[in-house]
């Protein structure tokens, strides 16, 4: 693999965004393709916001005739069927691509070339853990936001590493949530601040048209993946290979050293 420079893994706001930018730049085209795939995967859900407008005349002929009951009944069944399909898509298919993409950004943060096969690897292995972990996070964070906004934000920050742990270490949903809670101890404010700044990064991306949004998304995802990897290193759960020190001696200096060296008899 071609050397891409030295990455500094510091579990801090500046460390995550700084190294995250470098990881994004070193794997720009691959990560751009990842966010494009995620956009395509999310696009079918745009149709679930369709609205059905009824005219006043639709309800003017009361009592309804039998054909009206069949017409409204068919529309209701079609809406229920589409709603069921959308629900299955959101909870059974989309999380696999989303979790696989997170692992690709982790690979980039580790200076490993992201593998596109990771996007669909969840369908072959770890599928149940991915689906259940996504369902658990949705329920916990959703309940926290409904009752009080602050608990939902705290849960979102402390459980932010759950998807990475499911994909990276193969943990089940409960183990991943517990491990995420442990790993993020002392880093909750960093994750919150990164999320707050991410909002303005997305706004800046919107100002730069659609291309800017994709770059913003890449940078944010790369930064969170970098923070996760940095915390693993901090906790001693990942060993970083030592970087050899390059020989900075100039050729002329090496020649002089050779001339000055004492000769040895054969």
- Note the pLDDT tens digit of each residue in 73-107: 777 778 888 888 988 888 999 999 999 999 999 99
DSSP of 76-91: HHHHHHHHHHHHHIII
pLDDT at residue 211, as a whole number: 80
In a domain, 127, yes or no: yes
Across residues 169-189, what is the average pLDDT?
97
| Sign for the pseudo-dihedral over CA of 112, 9, 218, 188 | positive
pLDDT at residue 76, as a whole number: 77
For the stretch 107-139, pLDDT in tens is 999 999 999 999 999 999 999 999 999 999 999
Number of domains in the chain: 1
Per DSSP, the chain holds a count of helices (H) and strands (E) of: 12, 0
Helix axes 94-109, 209-234, angle to 10 degrees: 70
In a domain, 7, yes or no: no
Angle at 219 between CA 215 and CA 220, to 5 degrees: 120
pTM, entire model: 0.81
In a domain, 251, yes or no: no
In a domain, 102, yes or no: yes
More confident residue, 104 or 56: 104
pLDDT at residue 98, as a whole number: 97
Q: Judge contact between 101 and 37, C-beta under 8 A.
A: yes
94-98, 108-112, 169-173, 256-260: least confidently modelled range: 256-260
Across residues 51-74, what is the average pLDDT?
57
For the stretch 191-250, pLDDT in tens is 999 999 999 999 999 898 778 999 999 999 999 999 999 999 999 999 876 555 445 444
pLDDT at residue 156, as a whole number: 96
In a domain, 24, yes or no: yes
Tell whether the model's pLDDT for residue 167 goes beyond 70.
yes
pLDDT at residue 49, as a whole number: 55
Across residues 155-165, what is the average pLDDT?
97
Query: Which residue segment(s) compose the domain that 191 sits in?
Result: 13-47+65-239
Tell whether the model's pLDDT for residue 21 goes beyond 60.
yes
Q: Judge contact between 167 and 173, C-beta under 8 A.
A: no
Q: Judge contact between 3 and 220, C-beta under 8 A.
A: no
148-157, 229-238, 252-261: least confidently modelled range: 252-261
């Amino acid at each position: 693999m071609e050397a891409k420079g030295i990455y500094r893994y510091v579990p801090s706001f500046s460390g995550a965004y700084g190294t995250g930018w470098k990881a994004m730049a070193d794997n720009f085209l691959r990560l751009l393709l990842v966010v494009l795939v995620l956009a395509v995967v999310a696009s079918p859900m745009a149709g679930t916001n369709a609205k059905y407008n009824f005219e006043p005349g639709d309800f003017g002929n009361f009592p309804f005739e039998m054909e009206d009951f069949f017409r409204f009944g068919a529309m209701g069944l079609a809406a229920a069927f589409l709603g069921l399909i959308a629900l299955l898509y959101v909870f059974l298919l989309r999380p696999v691509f989303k979790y696989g993409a997170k692992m690709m950004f982790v690979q980039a943060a580790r200076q490993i070339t992201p593998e596109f096969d990771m996007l669909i690897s969840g369908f072959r292995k770890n599928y149940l853990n991915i689906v259940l972990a996504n369902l658990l996070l949705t329920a916990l964070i959703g309940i926290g936001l409904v009752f009080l906004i602050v608990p939902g934000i705290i849960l979102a920050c402390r459980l932010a590493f759950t998807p990475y742990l499911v994909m990276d270490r193969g943990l089940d949903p409960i183990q991943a949530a517990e491990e995420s809670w442990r790993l993020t101890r002392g880093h909750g404010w960093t994750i919150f601040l990164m999320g707050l700044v991410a909002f303005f990064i997305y706004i800046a991306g919107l100002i730069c048209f659609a291309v800017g949004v994709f770059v913003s998304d890449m940078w944010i995802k790369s930064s969170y993946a970098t923070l996760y990897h940095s915390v693993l290193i901090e906790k001693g759960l990942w060993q970083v290979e030592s970087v050899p020190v390059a020989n900075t001696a100039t050729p002329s200096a090496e020649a002089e050293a050779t001339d000055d060296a004492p000769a040895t008899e054969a």
